[in-house]
Amino acid sequence: MVMQGPEHSRVATLVRLLDEIADLHVQLLAAIDAKIDAMKTADTDRIRQTMLGEQEIVERINEREGLRKQLTVNLGRSYGISPERARRMSATQIAERFAGSETARIEAAVSRMRDLTTQIARRNHVAQLVSENILRHMRIVFASMTAPADGGVAYSADGQSNAATNERLFDLVG
């Protein structure tokens, strides 16, 4: 299928848009890595800053994805496809049906996105595990501080948790 006119322009715009979305995913991956690094050093200000940056990138991705769907609807309309059906079409399906000479570029962008989303999911899983461990340790710390007089849990010099003495931390320090 040889495209001309508006359809060709829409496909070229779609290719650029997919590349932009992929670049935003690269930025998101870097933001998640920065957040994990901040978590490792317990730098709460940096954690907050990276999370705000991460949120901004996700918003931009969602905005670009909305544009991609609009473009897909317009492209589908040119070929008699309903807006609902066109909106649900993946980039691969669009490439197969409409892209012509741009098919390889769309498929390359889709492949890149697939790889990036896999990496992002893995990094997010690491961040989740780090967060869960931090929360678990903080619960132990706070339980030790507020434990009844018969003792709670405390950390030893090597970082292991063990039974605390009969004194509460707040009783010791006022």
Question: Quick one: pLDDT at residue 110?
Answer: 85
Residue boundaries of the structural domains of the chain: 5-123
Pick the closest to residue 58 from 29, 93, 89 (CA basis): 29
Query: Which H or E element spans position 162?
Result: strand 161-163
Question: Quick one: pLDDT at residue 163?
Answer: 62
* DSSP β-bridge partners for residue 153: 163
Question: Quick one: pLDDT at residue 1?
Answer: 42
Question: Quick one: pLDDT at residue 52?
Answer: 96
DSSP 113-133: HHHHHHHHHHHHHHHHHHHHH
CA 93/CA 13 separation, integer angstroms: 16
pLDDT digits (tens, 9 = 90+) for 60-71: 999 999 998 898
Question: Quick one: pLDDT at residue 14?
Answer: 86
Question: Quick one: pLDDT at residue 5?
Answer: 54
CATH of 5-123, one of 1.20.58, 1.10.1060, 1.10.287, 3.40.50: 1.20.58
Task: Give the three-state DSSP class for 167.
Answer: coil
DSSP 64-115: HHHHHHHHHHHHHHHTT--HHHHHH--HHHHHHHH-GGGHHHHHHHHHHHHH
Question: Quick one: pLDDT at residue 2?
Answer: 42
97 and 106 in contact (C-beta within 8 Å)? Answer: no
Which residues of the chain register pLDDT less than 50? 1-3, 172-174
CA 103/CA 15 separation, integer angstroms: 9
